[in-house]
Every structure is written in C-alpha cells, then in structure tokens.
Structure 1
Amino acid sequence: MRIFFTGGSGKAGHHVAPALAAQGHQVTNADVTPLGHPDVQDLRVDLTDAGETWSAMAGLASMDELDLPEKPAYDAVVHFAAIPAILVASDAATYATNVLTTYHVLEAATRLGIPKVVFASSETTYGICFAQGERRPLYLPVDEEHPTVPEDSYAMAKVSNEVTARSFQARAGTDVYGLRINNVIEPHEYAELFPDFLEDPSLRRRNVFGYIDTRDLALMVERCLATDGLGYQVFNVANADMSVAATTEEVREQFYGGVELRRDLGRDETFYSIAKARELLGYEPQHSWRDVLDDPGRA
C-alpha cells in the first residue's frame, strides 16, 4: 500500500512507520521533523495548514514516481501527529493544534477519495489518565462503550477528533478507524521503567494498569490496514497483560473496590479491554514485559 503517515518521527510513529515499510508498504512520513529512516520517505508538512496538508496528500511521494505515467493516489492515511500529552504546550495550544490537524487530515483524505484512514485517539478519552485527583473507571474491564468525559485539553481534543472522524466517515462512506492507544512503551523501557512499576503498582493507576508495546501497536495498525469494510470504528489498543506484577484480583482489591466487574478476568489480564480488536481485526499482541523481566508474582 501507498501510505501517508503523519507524525512518523514521534515516539510511536518512529517505530510504526518503519515497521509498515518493512512489511512492503510505501510510507511517506509527513512531519515537521524528519525521521531519517532509509525505508521511509520524509516530507516536511505543517498539518495545521490546510493547504499544506492537502498539497502533500495529493502530491508525489518520491522522485521515483516521476517515472510513472501518472501520479498514484494514496491507499491509506495513518494519522499519528499530535502534541502528545498535556503540559507539553499550553492547554489552548494543545487543543487547537490536535483538533485542527486532525480536521485537515480527515478533510483532505476523504475529499481525495482515500479509502482508509487510521487515526490515533487515546486511552485518555475515558477521563482517567489526566484527571485532577483520583478517578476510577465506571466498570471493568474498560471497553469502547465506557463513557468518554475527560476534563483535560488533550483528551478533549481526542474526543472531538473521534466525533469529527465519524462525521467525515458518514459523508464519505470510507473506512475510518480510531485507535484508543494505551501508554506507549518502547522495548528498551522495560528495563528502565518497569522495575519501579512492579515495586509500586500505584504508578500505573492513571493508565488503568495497561500499556502497549510499540511493536504490537504496529501490528494493530497492520491489522487495521488489512481489514476492510468496517466503516467507522474505535478500538482500544493495549497488550494482553497488565504492566504490573500484582494480579488482577489484587489490583481490584487495592484500587477498584466497589467498581462493577462485568466479566471474569484472567490472572494477569489487562483491565483495558482489547476484545473488540481481537474479534473484528484478528489483533493478538505478541509482546510482554515478562519477556524481558522476571515476574516476582510467579517466582
């Protein structure tokens, strides 16, 4: 596939874009900062500018395409570009940037007739991650039907983007899939961060004790690109296990007393339900922190 990938130089993107290229896809990284990967074409694009966004998405991806009889169209857009969290920029700038860039990407993609858009939403939409004070889920496991009522600028923008995406999909009739991505973890971060998480599970309560390995995030995007005909959908994206050594029952007792449990959970099963992605996309994460670190709970 010929893929227009926004934000390929970010924490998640710089893993996912090359992974897609390794699968044989032609990937253009639209970002203000180049990725510099030999298998990914860099294109400097300011996505806050509607004209730049449209021009880039409608244009050539590489010099090699000059030798073709006519310019090919993109087969898919993967939109990861964003201010990545609160407290990186002002709240107003975070909201405005993340909403406007997503609008421009979706408008250009649907008007140009690109048949698939996969965009990064967030775990923060559920209102827990960046809440002021303590906030718990309304029920467990947290699935895509859980209310999304955040109070922070980043998550508000993500909820707005989901509404915008659904509206553009209704207009165009194409496939638009939103990914409510859990806390992104790079492979080297297991050794750096997870010993503290295993020692103190409370460090992970804002992420509903979940995480997503960048390699499994790439797998999720691949499954979205390979699965057609679902219209507008949102999917939770996480690894199959929790990011702590405590069992689900132990975490429930300590942090989620009185929270409704809607189904039985496995010993280490994530509270951030990925059942929908498994069912509709055939997504099955392949990695775990347990591949790198010893699980003291199983010693």
Structure 2
Amino acid sequence: MSKKRVIVTGGSGMAGKWVVKDLVDNGYEVVNLDIVPMKDRLVRTVITDLTDAGQVFNALSMTTVQHEFSPSIRPEPIDAIVHFAAIPRIMTHPDNEVFRINVMGTYNVLDAASKLGIKKVIIASSETTYGVVFADLYRDPLYFPLDENYPTNDRHPTDSYATSKVINETTARMFHERSGMDIYAFRIGNVIDVNDYENFPKFFADPEFRRRITWSYIDVRDLAQACRLGIEKDGLGFEIFNVAADDVSSDIPTQELLNRFYPNVPVKKELGEFETLLSNEKIKRVLGFKQQHNWRMYVKA
C-alpha cells in the first residue's frame, strides 16, 4: 500500500514542525510549504508565498518525493493538506497585514485544493474566534465552556487576527459546499512547546495573566495527533473542532478561576475540578482524540 501524501503549510513553525514529525513517524509522505526551510530538514520545503495564488496552485501540484534524484519525480495526487501557515498573533505585523496574509493564504489554499481535486484540508482556526482573547479590554464570553456552537457571528471578535479566522471558517464552509471536500477547522488553544513548561510556575504565580485565553493550552504533540486523526477521518464535510487539553493551565481549580475572574458568565454544565473552559468534548467524541501530555507530567505544582 502506497504512502498517503500530505502537504503541510507552515511546517517550519513551532507547531507545524511537530505536525510534520508526527506524520513522517506514522508513515506519511510529507512536503512543507513555507517561506523558510525546516531547521532539521526533516522533509523537503517548497518556498511558497501563500498569498500568491499562482505559487500555491503550482506548489500543490508538484511532486512530493524528497529528492530530485528519486526513481520517479512525477507528481502524484495529494491526499490531504494541513494548513497552519499564518501570522500567528496580533502586534507582530500591522493589523491589515495580519488580516490580508491570513485570509488570502487560506483562500488560495482552499481554492487550489478544490480545483486540483484534493479531498481533505485541515485549517488552523483559533480560540480567538470567541472574541475574548484579543479584545481591547477584558471581555466576558456569553457562556462557559466555550464550544463549537458558540455564536461567533453574533458575538464578533474585535481584532484583525480573530476576524481573519472567523472569515477563514466561512471560506472553508463555502468551499465544502462548492466541492464537497472535507474541511475541518481546528480552533486551537494556546500551543505549548516542549520547552514552554518551564514557564508554568510563572503562570501559577499570576493567574490573571492567562485570563484572556481562559487558561487553555494544548501540547504541540497532542495538536499533531489531532491533525493526524483529522486526516484519517473521512466523510464529515465541514466541521469545527476545538483543540485543547482536558485541563486548565493553572494550579487553581476551574470553579475558583471562574469565581475570581468571570463571576458573571453563565456556566452551561457541571465542570470537573480542573476541567478546561475550551471544550474538547467534540474532538474526543468524533475524532477519538486523547490527550497524551498535560502540564502535571512536566511541572510540579
């Protein structure tokens, strides 16, 4: 049986490199599209400006073999795309550039994928779509836990980054309706790299610091697992999934965090002692996601 061929965009980035590694470790043939090569050269990188539709169309129709001296360098069909390339936050680029790059990059990837007959795309959306993280001032959500049914179109975010992600979800739904392709939008919580656990004692000392992200987190390796599960699950059409750890990134129980920082927000269900406020129930139920890494494995509370 031949390997599945997957394109990862943004595979040179902090989260993307773990997605690439997980796919390679599980027998996938992977090519990275990015503006810089991967540091460890685990797979071949095609330098691609995703805001240029012509470059995207060409890159998605290139060969996925790793070396130009391979027995065959003929392009073969792509099985899936994991689209992570983006400006990952506000305040690093002008707001209009954050919006332009994130929206046009996603549009171009989905447009080319649909015209090339690629049947599966996973796009990186964000917990910021709930309108809390990058609001000008602290803003209460409508309810907890934040789930995929939350009315982001009624309670709009107010920043360019989150707005770009809401638009990308709408674009993804449109391309699914047009082509029938499976597109899964992952609303990803705060991504924690392996070395980031050393910062958790600082988080514990100042619980308000992570109030805006409602103390969410997801280990990069668990995020990579979620992407692979998404690739392996066919036939869902367009779906949105929160990707978050089972627990909060705090040594304070969830209810106490709510009492201190969100006392006026309705809570729709009974919560476990340290249960996440960014619900991951759907991805566990539908894709079979199981958290493998939590902060207690690496940090002493």
- TM-based fold match above 0.5: yes
Matched with 2:50 is 47
Partner of 2:105: 101
- Where do 1:10-159 residues align within 5 Å? 10-62=13-65, 63=67, 67-68=71-72, 70-148=74-152, 149-159=156-166
Q: TM-score if structure 2 supplies the norm length?
A: 0.95
Give RMSD over aligned pairs.
1.3
Deviations 1:131-179 (A, max 9, x none): 1111122111110111221100011111110000000011111110000
Correspondent of 1:229 among 197, 218, 235: 235
Deviations 1:46-89 (A, max 9, x none): 11110000001011123368634953111001000001111111
Cα displacement string for residues 74-109 of structure 1 (whole angstroms, at most 9, x for unaligned residues): 100100000111111100111011100100000011
Asked if 1:262 corresponds to 2:265, the answer is no
Residue number among 276, 279, 295 corresponding to 2:282 in the alignment: 276
Aligned to 1:207, the other structure's residue is in SS state coil
Pick one of 10, 14, 37 that aligns with 1:7. 10
Gaps of 5+ in 2: none
- The gaps in structure 1 that reach 5 residues or longer are none
Matched residue, 1:244: 250
Distance in structure 2 (CA, Å) of the matches to 1:44 and 1:208: 36
Q: Which amino acid in 1 is paired with 2:216?
A: G
Paired residues in the alignment total 294
SS of 2:212's partner is helix
For residue 139 of structure 1, give the secondary structure of its aligned residue in structure 2: coil
Matching of residue 210 in structure 1 with residue 216 in structure 2: yes
Q: Deviations 1:238-285 (Å, cap 9, x if unpaired)? A: 111100000011111101112111111110110000011011111111
Return the alpha-carbon distance in structure 1 between the equivalents of residues 5 and 71 of structure 2.
16
On the 8 A contact 2:223/2:243 being kept in 1, the answer is yes
Paired amino acid for 2:240: V
- Residue by residue, what CA displacement relative to the aligned partner does 1:179-209 show, whole Å, maximum 9, x if unpaired? 0001111011101x11111112111111111
1:65/1:71 contact within 8 Å kept: no
Over the matched positions of the two proteins, sequence identity in percent amounts to 45
- Whether the 8 Å CA contact 1:36–1:42 is kept in 2: the answer is no
SS state of the match for residue 46, structure 2? strand
Structure 2 CA distance for aligned equivalents of residues 69 and 189 of structure 1: 40
CA distance in 1 between counterparts of 2:60 and 2:75 reads 12
State the secondary structure of the residue aligned to 2:231: helix
> Are the equivalent residues in 1 in contact too, given 2:144–2:267 (CA < 8 A)?
yes
Select which of 164, 168, 173 maps to 1:161.
Answer: 168
Equivalent-residue separation in structure 2 for 1:258 and 1:127 (angstroms):
17
TM-score, length-scaled by structure 1? 0.95
Q: Which moved more, 1:256-265 or 1:210-219?
A: 256-265
CA change 1:69–1:124 in 2 (3 A) is closer
Cα distance in 2 for residues equivalent to 1:69 and 1:98 = 31
